[in-house]
Chains A and B, each alone.
Chain A
Amino acid sequence: MTYLGAPRPGRRRGDVAIAGILVLLGGFVSSLSREQQNQVEAFVRATALYPFLHLHRASAERSAVGRRLADLQRERDSLVQTVVRYRALADQSADLRDIAALASPRVGEVRAAEVYPGRPRVGDPDVFVLRGPGLSDLVFPVGVFTGSGLVGVARGAHGAGARGDFWSHPDFRVSVVTEDGVVSGIVRPLRRDGEEPILLLDGAPFQSDIAPGTRLLTTGIAGVYPPGITVGSVRQLAEEEAGWMKRYYVEPAVRPAQTALVLVWVRPRLDSLAVPDLLGGRGLPLDSLAAARPPAPLPETASGPDVPAPAAAVADTAR
């Protein structure tokens, strides 16, 4: 007997048991930790899906090459202006640090990576996978950004790369400060029905007024994000809360869909503090400070002297 032109497949005892075990195995995979699931995903992406991912990358680069050339030229011009403007300032700062016997500022370094965003429908468009050299040995979570602004946060290793959240992810939070350093607060994503996600500045003091167009920069507190990265610019006042706080709508500096290449921050090692050393050295080991002070419960902040920390700034919260 045929079935739609093909022989009807036979049945064996045990078929149902095997099928049931496979379904249960799917349930078991759900109970694995995020790190273990990342390893499975990374393996599949590096083997069976590699040709397709390579094809997607090549196609995206080919279609965007003209636009990126113009963007790159614009970014280069802007960088040249910035370097020329601040070169003298950097020299002055170095001289003053020498006079005050301060160690050189630790700003960390960056590593370049390609972004592979999650897909809507089955996947999550608010997450991404990064591919690039030297990503797996980072200390997570760590900030991800471009020349235009903050992209998101890398949460953990994903094979030889990393997996993270765009700023549009519901768990994303970053502490920010206005350009003039006066107002600080926490920025979180806001997704209204049928609209593109934007950002919301929470916790701005009630007496503060932030003009539309004001840039918001990362504070760098907690050491997840480097200080001074543009998060977005204030669009308008959202609401005032009971006379003690204001919220502002913020236009993000970077849209997730437009990111292809990013920079991942490698935070500087804080094995010694760059503080004036009255004993003649250039820094104090952290251990000596820990031994000198009584242990106290500290918030999750890790800011060195290189990190501008406004008095009212709030620590990043990154899960």
Chain B
Amino acid sequence: MRGRGRWVVIGVLLVVHFALHPVWSGWRAGPDLLAGGLLLGSLGLRSSRAAALGFVFGMLEASMALGPLGPTMLVLAAAGWVGAWLRDVLYSDSARFMPAFLVVGVWAIEVLLAIVSGTGVSPGTVFLYAPLSAVFTAAVCWCAERFVSFFLG
């Protein structure tokens, strides 16, 4: 997908994430479309801009959820940076790379956010809910990208 289409996908994910926030946040394994959008964005940005994107996303998410502001911004800024850096390390043109990248990335972000938000990290969170959430997020992101690709090419 070309740059314009990718940013449309990220915009749609962001709007859907915040519009349905009360619904997602009630599910223990709900999709984290903000993290998905951040990781998608980091694939097409330089590390500094990816970190800035994560910084802004962190501020929005913490303000919406009334969570810890600084730690959320720190985690998402670091996630954007690491995502952009990993893109160079794991350079791949395979179509399967993006879903795998999203699953691992969202899982890591979910676990880190659970740690910094102070809600307690249980084995269930790390090995059940976070992986389910990551798979769910990757599936939604992939569908959104296919959908937008169909119209924008």
Chain B residues closer than 8 Å to A119, beta-carbon distance: 21-22, 25, 64-67
User: Which residue of B50, B65, B98 contacts A121 across the interface (Cβ within 8 Å)?
Assistant: B65
A163 to B67: give the CA distance in the assembly, Å: 12
Contact B87 A3 (CB under 8 A): yes
User: Which residue of B19, B51, B58, B64 contacts A123 across the interface (Cβ within 8 Å)?
Assistant: B64
User: Which residue of A7, A12, A31, A59 contacts B46 across the interface (Cβ within 8 Å)?
Assistant: A12
Contact A128 B66 (CB under 8 A): yes
A1 to B50: give the CA distance in the assembly, Å: 21
Contact B65 A44 (CB under 8 A): no
Q: Is A10 an interface residue (CB 8 A)?
A: yes
User: Which residue of A4, A22, A29, A122 contacts B51 across the interface (Cβ within 8 Å)?
Assistant: A22
Q: Is A244 an interface residue (CB 8 A)?
A: no
Chain A residues closer than 8 Å to B95, beta-carbon distance: 4
Q: Residues of A within 8 Å of B, CB-based: how many?
A: 53
Q: Is A278 an interface residue (CB 8 A)?
A: no
Contact B60 A41 (CB under 8 A): no
User: Which residue of B43, B52, B64, B67 contacts A22 across the interface (Cβ within 8 Å)?
Assistant: B52
Total number of A-B contacts with CB less than 8 angstroms?
Answer: 166
Contact B64 A4 (CB under 8 A): no
Contact A4 B98 (CB under 8 A): yes
Chain B 59-81 near chain A by CB (<8 Å), digits 1 or 0: 11111111111111111111011
Q: Is B103 an interface residue (CB 8 A)?
A: no
User: Which residue of A11, A17, A44, A118 contacts B67 across the interface (Cβ within 8 Å)?
Assistant: A118
A163 to B59: give the CA distance in the assembly, Å: 17
Contact A23 B51 (CB under 8 A): yes
Q: Residues of B within 8 Å of A, CB-based: how many?
A: 58
A37 to B68: give the CA distance in the assembly, Å: 9
Contact B61 A7 (CB under 8 A): no
Q: Which of A5-47 contact B (CB under 8 A)?
A: 5-7, 9-12, 14-20, 22-23, 25-32, 37, 40-41, 44-45
Question: Known contacts A4-B98, A6-B6; is A52 also within 8 Å of B19 by CB?
Answer: yes
Chain B residues closer than 8 Å to A128, beta-carbon distance: 66
User: Which residue of B1, B18, B62, B74 contacts A27 across the interface (Cβ within 8 Å)?
Assistant: B74
Q: Is B113 an interface residue (CB 8 A)?
A: yes
Chain A residues closer than 8 Å to B67, beta-carbon distance: 118-119, 122-124
Question: Known contacts A29-B69, A119-B21; is A19 also within 8 Å of B48 by CB?
Answer: yes
Determine the residue in chain B with the shortest Cβ distance to A44.
B63
Chain B residues closer than 8 Å to A48, beta-carbon distance: 60
Question: Known contacts A2-B93, A119-B22; is A41 also within 8 Å of B66 by CB?
Answer: yes
Q: Is A312 an interface residue (CB 8 A)?
A: no
Determine the residue in chain A with the shortest Cβ distance to B53.
A22
A124 to B66: give the CA distance in the assembly, Å: 6
User: Which residue of B3, B63, B70, B119 contacts A26 across the interface (Cβ within 8 Å)?
Assistant: B70
Distance from B1 Cβ to chain A, minimum over Cβ atoms (Å)? 5
Chain B residues closer than 8 Å to A7, beta-carbon distance: 3
Chain B residues closer than 8 Å to A254, beta-carbon distance: none
Residues of A in contact with B (beta carbons under 8 Å apart): 2-7, 9-12, 14-20, 22-23, 25-32, 37, 40-41, 44-45, 48-49, 52-53, 55-56, 59-60, 116-124, 127-129, 163
Residues of B in contact with A (beta carbons under 8 Å apart): 1-3, 6, 18-19, 21-22, 25-26, 28, 30, 43-48, 50-52, 54-55, 58-78, 80-81, 84, 87-88, 91, 93, 95, 97-98, 113-114, 117, 119
Which 6 pairs from chain A and chain B are nearest by CB? A123-B65, A30-B70, A26-B74, A118-B66, A29-B70, A18-B48
- Give me 5 A-to-B residue pairs in the complex whose CB atoms sit less than 8 angstroms apart, sorted by A's number: A3-B87, A9-B84, A23-B78, A117-B66, A123-B117
